[in-house]
Amino acid sequence: MGACMSSSNEEADQKKKSQAIDKILEEDSKRLRKECKILLLGSGESGKSTIVKQMKIIHLKGYSEDELFNYRPTVFKNLVECAKAVIMAMQQFDIEPQNEENKAHAEFLLEYQAESGPQAQIDPKVGAAVQALWNDPAKDLLMEHQTEFYLMDSAEYFFQEAMRIVSSDYLPNEMDVLRARTKTTGIYETRFQMGQLSIHRSRWSNYFPDYSGGNDVNKAAKYLLWRFNQVNRAHLNLYPHLTQATDTSNIRLVFAAVKETILNNALKDSGIL
């Protein structure tokens, strides 16, 4: 009798464990079906990391103060490297600064090495030297050769913000992070959840005066299908947008298109389309 009860208890425990495992597997399966994986591939400075940064800012509540602080060394390095690129390009095309003081600034910047590590600091002289050199009239002569040498696309931004960047209490903002460039190799994964689509009850009849089906679901479905075909007569999912890597509106347009696709698929699954 005792052996039978013990066996029954073990079977009950095993059944509970099995059901719990099945439930976890089912939940994982549902979650995976809802996940969309996006693989970003591209050449250097094509905007891959910038798009991921925008995703984080829009959908993951942005960057914490600690995360922003950790971008200081990257911004410092970008500022110094951009300045050196300008100076070396001037030397390449035999362009001398027209202000004599800027020759000393150029020598100082060429010898300066940006610090690395989370506690990195930058010499305030860097900011003054960068701005003075960038405001030198010789810059206009250099820009006549802008297609003949490499300069980071964020260079002018960092030059204009140089004095803020070299301040003792400098903390990068989100635009600094978007503009910052660092070499990335390998695979980086960022997870985020897009906002849930919600429909609020209101007097829809005011917006669709040509609908006369009342609360009939079938009539409403047919009307929505007709309206959709009227608006999207070409039946083409085209989302043209001229952009650049630091265009903050780019990612919003991308996700507007994604949301439209999700809604379209949901309407198909429900039988409306």
Specify whether 165 is located in the same domain as 80.
Answer: yes
Q: Is 184 labelled as part of a ligand binding site?
A: yes
- Kindly state whether residue 153 falls inside one of the protein's structural domains: yes
- Structure tokens of 178? 């978007």
Q: Is 47 labelled as part of a ligand binding site?
A: yes
- Kindly state whether residue 19 falls inside one of the protein's structural domains: no
Specify whether 161 is located in the same domain as 224.
Answer: no
Q: Is 49 labelled as part of a ligand binding site?
A: yes
Q: What is the pLDDT of residues 257-271, one digit of tens each?
A: 777 888 888 888 777
Q: Is 180 labelled as part of a ligand binding site?
A: yes
Specify whether 146 is located in the same domain as 212.
Answer: no
Specify whether 166 is located in the same domain as 208.
Answer: no
Q: Is 48 labelled as part of a ligand binding site?
A: yes
Q: What is the pLDDT of residues 225-238, one digit of tens each?
A: 777 766 655 555 55
**Domain final residue pick, 124, 151, 171:** 171
Q: Is 153 labelled as part of a ligand binding site?
A: yes
Q: Which value, to the nearest 10 degrees, does the dihedral of the CA atoms of residues 120, 125, 129, 130 take? A: 30
Phi, psi (deg, nearest 5) at residue 119: -100, 20
Specify whether 219 is located in the same domain as 142.
Answer: no
Q: Can you point out the beta strands (E) in the chain?
A: none
Which DSSP letter does residue 60 get? Answer: S
Looking at residue 147, its pLDDT comes to 85
Looking at residue 163, its pLDDT comes to 96
Q: Is 178 labelled as part of a ligand binding site?
A: yes
- Rounded to a whole number of angstroms, the distance between the first and last alpha carbons of the chain is 62
Specify whether 157 is located in the same domain as 213.
Answer: no
Specify whether 145 is located in the same domain as 227.
Answer: no
What is the pLDDT confidence band of residue 90, given thresholds at 50, 70 and 90?
Answer: very high
User: d(Cα 241, Cα 9) in Å, to the nearest integer?
Assistant: 64
Specify whether 151 is located in the same domain as 225.
Answer: no
More confident residue, 98 or 39: 98
Q: Is 181 labelled as part of a ligand binding site?
A: yes
Looking at residue 76, its pLDDT comes to 95
**Domain final residue pick, 114, 149, 171:** 171
What is the pLDDT confidence band of residue 153, given thresholds at 50, 70 and 90?
Answer: confident
Mean per-residue pLDDT, 195-220? 64
Q: Is 183 labelled as part of a ligand binding site?
A: yes
- Kindly state whether residue 218 falls inside one of the protein's structural domains: yes
Q: Is 198 labelled as part of a ligand binding site?
A: no
Which residues span the domain enclosing 100? Answer: 72-171
- Cβ count near 171 (within 10 Å): 12
- Cβ count near 266 (within 10 Å): 12
- Kindly state whether residue 63 falls inside one of the protein's structural domains: no
- Kindly state whether residue 145 falls inside one of the protein's structural domains: yes
Cα angle vertex 246, ends 77, 158, to 5°?
35
User: d(Cα 264, Cα 249) in Å, to the nearest integer?
Assistant: 23
Specify whether 80 is located in the same domain as 151.
Answer: yes
Specify whether 145 is located in the same domain as 216.
Answer: no
**Domain final residue pick, 171, 191, 221:** 171
Specify whether 128 is located in the same domain as 213.
Answer: no
- Kindly state whether residue 39 falls inside one of the protein's structural domains: no
- Kindly state whether residue 6 falls inside one of the protein's structural domains: no
Number of domains composing the chain: 2
The domain spanning residue 134 has which CATH number?
1.10.400.10
- Kindly state whether residue 26 falls inside one of the protein's structural domains: no
